[in-house]
């Protein structure tokens, strides 16, 4: 429904003489335009209310201004430039978009914000005029927001620097007893680090290493290792590989045929440090590491079998975990957003909001609202679903720094 209303205009824009791309007639009073359109179509066309904002004349805008000065100015500023945290700029915003949002507040679609009560008393005509007024104003100048660009891989590399001494610069261990961290799914890495942090998995050393790391840092670290080139551990592996291979048959269902697991909950074993593998199996058997499945799997294995299995898996070629891709940079994201929101966030679709020059704090909040579904819109839900908090900060900073371009409305001359 929402989507239909917004996409219908595209048809209008392609119809010559009615609306030219991004430039709409505003100087003509609605009845005049309606009469002009009647000649072009067989039936009397009805202009949707949101598009009527584009045909507002100077008298309408004057009425909108009086309304804005009495009701909206305390929060949005009489000039539509907000000085209040959480309150968006309205100056220069696309008029049909403003109108649609005012209707969304009235119907409760945008939830219990201060806007709901404010617009409850306004009739349709008032909504049209006040939208046209704010759209007619010069947009707010861009602001230099002081937000550091977050880059999960760089952040992960920085957070993983203290780990290199034991786990290798890129997660390929050189030291017997210290596991490699490459070739492991980020989900498994995060789970195991959290288990150390909570003390559920016992290693005083590792608990100390991750004790002060936030969940975000753990995610970044896991992503950093998952994106490194996998290579077998550079530590020695004594044992009979062929005997290990024969004993590995029951393990393949979970850890993969050659120790490359396709299930993020089951760690890959291929190329792992042999000493670590053996220590882990012994720990499962003796209860130092608690996992009922693995306890059962290693119960009947003696130390020679464990050594042989370790030698076999250590000699297998590790592979990059499946479905882990480098996250998009802020610029790459913005290109995708600009497809709907216009070049640098200067929307040329009057039903879609301009983002350029909007307040950073407001953009950050609404993107989280879309992601959390407190603000409902199918397209924005899909777009925001995969955004991390860091992506949202980056995008909010990016758009708040762009120069907002006012839309100029010109009248289409009559034939
Ligand atoms: C009490 C303060 C307050 C008053 C008065 C107020 N607003 Fe708002 N307005 C807000 C806040 C806060 C938001 C952001 C709410 C949200 O996140 O949904 C907002 C959001 C909006 C939006 C959505 C903008 C966007 O980019 O999606 C529009 C449109 C709007 N207001 C128009 C108006 C108009 C027109 C008036 C006067 C008739 C008005 N507001 C009066 C506080 C106010
Ligand atoms: C002083 C050496 C040392 C340092 C430094 C160190 N680790 Fe470890 N790490 C170990 C040892 C030893 C183990 C195996 C512990 C066990 O038996 O559970 C381990 C295990 C792990 C595991 C589990 C691997 C698996 O396959 O389950 C992860 C993940 C890990 N470390 C991440 C890190 C991170 C991240 C850092 C840096 C913040 C770090 N380690 C720093 C020695 C170290
Ligand atoms: C039913 C599924 C299943 C089977 C079969 C299985 N494992 Fe596991 N294995 C797991 C799970 C789950 C874990 C992670 C447990 C944890 O969090 O400690 C694991 C962990 C391990 C680890 C620790 C890896 C690390 O990076 O810390 C080793 C070593 C291991 N398994 C070896 C084996 C061997 C050898 C066999 C066959 C004899 C085997 N497993 C069979 C499910 C299985
Ligand atoms: C397929 C088209 C489409 C794409 C792509 C898209 N958007 Fe949107 N966006 C919309 C629509 C439609 C709305 C208005 C939804 C509503 O009514 O709440 C919107 C609204 C917004 C708003 C609210 C603006 C305001 O003033 O309240 C923000 C912020 C936003 N989008 C940011 C983004 C960002 C960032 C991206 C890229 C990650 C993006 N959008 C990609 C269609 C799109």
Ligand with the closest atom to the CA of 5: 4
Q: Which ligand is nearest to the CA of 187?
A: 2
Place of tokens 């190329």: 271
Is residue 192 in contact with ligand 2, taking CB distance under 6 Å? yes
Give 23's strand partners: 20
pLDDT of 9 over the 70 cut: no
Q: How far is the CA of 341 from the centre of ligand 4 (A)?
A: 7
Rounded average pLDDT over 353-361: 97
- Closest residue to atom 34 of ligand 4, CA basis: 337
Residue located nearest, by CA, to atom 32 of ligand 3: 281
What's the pLDDT score for residue 30? 37
Q: How far, in Å, is the centroid of ligand 2 from the Cα of 135?
A: 57
pLDDT tens digits, one per residue of 371-415 = 999 999 999 999 999 998 999 999 999 999 999 998 766 667 777
* Cβ–Cβ < 8 Å for 122, 129: no
Q: Picking from 74-83, 110-119, 333-342, 395-404, which range would have the lowest pLDDT averaged per residue?
A: 110-119
Residue whose CA is at the smallest distance from ligand 4 atom 40:
337
What does the DSSP assignment read for 54-113?
Answer: GG--HHHHHHHHHHIIIIIHHHH-TTS---STTPPP-TT--HHHHHHHHHHHHHTTT-SS
Q: Give the Å distance between the CA of 167 and the centre of ligand 3.
A: 20
Pocket test for ligand 3, best of 260, 297, 314 (most atoms within 8 A of CB): 297
* Fold matches, 2-145+330-400 and 152-314: yes
Q: Where are the domains of the chain?
A: 2-145+330-400, 152-314
- Assigned token pair, 282: 């012994």
Cβ–ligand 3 distance for 243 under 6 Å, the answer: no
Q: Would the pLDDT of 1 be above 90?
A: no
CATH fourth-level superfamily of 2-145+330-400: Cytochrome c-like domain (1.10.760.10)
- Name residue 20's beta-bridge partners: 23
Q: Which residues contact 15 (CB under 8 A, 6 or more apart)?
A: none
pLDDT in tens, 85-106: 999 999 999 999 999 999 999 9
Q: Which residue from 50, 115, 132 has its CB within 8 A of the most atoms of ligand 1, so it is best to mutate?
A: 115
* Per-residue confidence (pLDDT) for residue 17, from 0 to 100: 35
Q: Which fold has domain 152-314?
A: Cytochrome Bc1 Complex; Chain D, domain 2 (1.10.760)
Query: How sure is the predictor about 44, in pLDDT bands with cuts at 50, 70 and 90?
Result: very low
User: Is 71 near ligand 1, meaning CB less than 6 Å away?
Assistant: yes
Ligand closest to CA 173? 2
Atom of ligand 3 nearest to the CA of 284: 18
């Amino acid at each position: 429904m929402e989507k239909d209303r917004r996409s219908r205009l595209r048809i209008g824009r392609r119809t010559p003489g009615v609306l030219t791309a991004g430039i709409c007639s505003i100087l003509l009073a609605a009845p005049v335009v309606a009469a002009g359109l009647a000649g072009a179509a067989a039936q009397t066309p009805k202009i949707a209310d949101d598009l009527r904002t584009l045909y507002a004349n100077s008298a309408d805008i004057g009425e909108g201004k009086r309304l804005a000065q009495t009701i909206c100015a305390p929060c949005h500023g009489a000039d539509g430039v907000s000085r209040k945290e959480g309150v968006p700029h309205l100056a220069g915003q696309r008029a049909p978009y403003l109108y649609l949002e005012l209707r969304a507040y009235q119907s409760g679609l945008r939830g219990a914000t201060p806007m709901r009560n404010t617009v409850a008393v306004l009739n349709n005509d008032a909504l049209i005029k006040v939208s046209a007024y704010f759209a007619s104003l010069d947009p707010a100048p861009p602001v230099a927001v002081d937000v550091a660009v977050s880059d999960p891989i760089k952040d992960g590399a920085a957070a993983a620097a203290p780990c290199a001494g034991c786990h290798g610069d890129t997660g390929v261990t050189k030291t017997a007893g210290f596991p490699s961290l490459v070739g492991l799914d980020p989900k498994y890495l995060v789970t195991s680090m959290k288990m150390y942090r909570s003390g559920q998995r016992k290693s005083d050393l590792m608990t100390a290493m991750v004790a002060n790391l936030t969940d975000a840092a753990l995610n970044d670290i896991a992503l950093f290792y998952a994106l490194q080139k996998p290579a077998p551990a550079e530590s020695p592996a004594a044992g009979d590989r062929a005997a290990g291979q024969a004993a590995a048959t029951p393990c393949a269902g979970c850890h993969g045929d050659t120790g490359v697991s396709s299930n993020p909950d089951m760690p890959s074993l291929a190329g792992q440090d042999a000493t670590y593998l053996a220590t882990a199996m012994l720990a499962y058997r003796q209860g130092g590491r608690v996992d009922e499945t693995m306890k059962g799997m290693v119960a009947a294995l003696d130390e020679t079998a464990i050594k042989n299995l370790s030698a076999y898996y250590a000699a297998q070629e590790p592979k990059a975990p499946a479905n882990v891709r480098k996250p998009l940079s802020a610029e790459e994201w913005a290109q995708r957003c600009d497809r709907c929101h216009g070049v640098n966030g200067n929307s040329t679709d009057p039903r879609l909001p301009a983002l350029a020059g909007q307040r950073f704090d407001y953009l950050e909040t609404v993107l989280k609202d879309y992601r959390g579904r407190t603000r409902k819109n199918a397209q924005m839900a899909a777009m925001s679903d995969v955004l991390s908090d860091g992506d949202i900060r980056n995008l909010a900073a990016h758009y708040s720094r762009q120069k907002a371009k006012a839309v100029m409305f010109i009248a289409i001359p009559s034939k």
